[in-house]
Amino acid sequence: MKNPKHRTESRMGSGSRVFCSYAVITVLVLGSCQTPGRPPASPCDGKLEVEPSIQAESIQLIATNSCHVPLFIRLSFTKLENLDPSRELPVETVIPANSEALLLRLEVRDPYKRSNYAPTTLVRIGGPSAIHDDSIEYLYPFGGSAPRKLAQGVDGGITHTGNHRYAFDFGMPIGTPVLAARSGVVFKVKDGFPEGGFSKKYFSSWNQVVILHEDNTFSTYGHLRAGIIVEEGQLVSARDLLGYSGNSGYSKGPHLHFHVSIRKDDGPSRTIPISFQGGVVPVKGELYGPTRQDGRVTD
């Protein structure tokens, strides 16, 4: 004899969505250039869906990641009425880019009683945690034929303060090759802004590339010239060409902004201390780089 139909209620009905949190990056300020403002929309907003599949005596919760980078999800419940989870809670897993996965099944305990559940989720770009690999020494993020002066560095006093303190502004002429300082996957590309200037109307109009690294930190390359070479989801190696330096956005003059950032759960993004080849931490007024395509630094 078949069990009678049971009634299931949930706050996560068919077609509901679980949205990504903001990227581990924020638009961080540059030396006399970009202002913090509101965090930009993440390319992964709305790209993770958790859908219930109702079976005869169970409910399957299936996560679909339609973003171009992996997404970590932590799933738990504030209410489980007449339902037993098939896995220990909370469920924590990484959903690869452009894929789906079964998170768990909720088995109906008594088919004669009402079933109800209320899920809670935490979603993060990349993996379960972001801990910078301090053994990494970054390449200088630009090529060309001449060293470039650092216009503003760590604790620059103008805009490199607080969560934005560990950032670097290299002055350089428009059209200087911008190179990946470390390998990763292109998380975000913002392109198409033809100009910049020291005016509030340029606050959000800076061309940029953001790369996600394997330790779930991000590097940001800002104020590029329109016509960025790479695309979101593209794998890049250190020294790969990303685009060319420019003067887009809120800026007093042509330069390249570079920083590495990290975010933990619901906290704000923050830049983190890094070093370049040879353990160097650039200081204002000194000349550095450039990195050649073979990875060496030109004297």
CATH number, residue 207: 2.70.70.10
- Closest C-alpha to 244, from 230, 258, 224: 224
- Tokens 């002066």 correspond to 149
Do 249 and 283 lie in one domain? The reply is yes
Instruction: Identify the pLDDT of residue 296.
Output: 61
User: Measured between alpha carbons, how far is 298 from 147 in angstroms, rounded to an integer?
Assistant: 8
Strands 218-224 vs 207-212: parallel, antiparallel or unpaired: antiparallel
- Which amino acid, 1? M
Do 106 and 154 lie in one domain? The reply is no
Do 95 and 191 lie in one domain? The reply is no
User: Got the DSSP string for 31-90?
Assistant: TTS----SPPPPTTTT-EEEEEEE-SSEEEEEEEE-SSS-EEEEEEEEEEESEEESSPSS
Do 98 and 180 lie in one domain? The reply is no
255 located within any domain: yes
Do 216 and 162 lie in one domain? The reply is yes
Instruction: Identify the pLDDT of residue 17.
Output: 29
Q: How far is CA 201 from CA 6, 138, 195, 267, in A?
A: 58, 33, 11, 28
Q: How far is CA 21 from CA 16, 35, 267, 280, in A?
A: 16, 21, 10, 33
| pTM for the whole structure | 0.83
The answer to whether 67 and 123 are in contact (CB under 8 A) is: no
Instruction: Identify the pLDDT of residue 93.
Output: 97
140 located within any domain: no
- Closest C-alpha to 286, from 170, 172, 174, 181: 170
Q: Which two tokens stand for residue 243?
A: 């685009």
Do 26 and 75 lie in one domain? The reply is yes
Largest CA distance in the chain: 83
299 located within any domain: no
User: Measured between alpha carbons, how far is 292 from 140 in angstroms, rounded to an integer?
Assistant: 9
Number of domains observed in the structure of the chain? 2
Do 158 and 247 lie in one domain? The reply is yes
Instruction: Identify the pLDDT of residue 119.
Output: 94
Which residues touch 173 (CB under 8 Å, ≥6 apart)?
245, 254
117 located within any domain: yes
Q: Is the dihedral of CA 38, 44, 46, 48 positive or negative?
A: negative
Residue 116 maps to which CATH number? Answer: 2.60.40
Q: What is the mean pLDDT of each run of 10 residues along the chain (299 residues)?
A: 43 32 24 37 89 93 97 96 97 97 96 93 90 96 96 83 90 97 97 75 82 96 96 97 90 91 77 96 95 66
136 located within any domain: no
Do 205 and 280 lie in one domain? The reply is yes
9 located within any domain: no
Full residue range of the structural domain in which residue 35 is found: 15-125
Instruction: Identify the pLDDT of residue 164.
Output: 85
Q: How far apart are the two ends of the chain, measured CA to CA in Å?
A: 83
- Tokens 């896995």 correspond to 87
165 located within any domain: yes
Do 227 and 162 lie in one domain? The reply is yes
Instruction: Identify the pLDDT of residue 159.
Output: 73
Do 49 and 89 lie in one domain? The reply is yes
Do 175 and 278 lie in one domain? The reply is yes
Instruction: Identify the pLDDT of residue 198.
Output: 64
296 located within any domain: no
Q: Which two tokens stand for residue 28?
A: 């961080």
User: Measured between alpha carbons, how far is 230 from 180 in angstroms, rounded to an integer?
Assistant: 11
Do 161 and 268 lie in one domain? The reply is yes
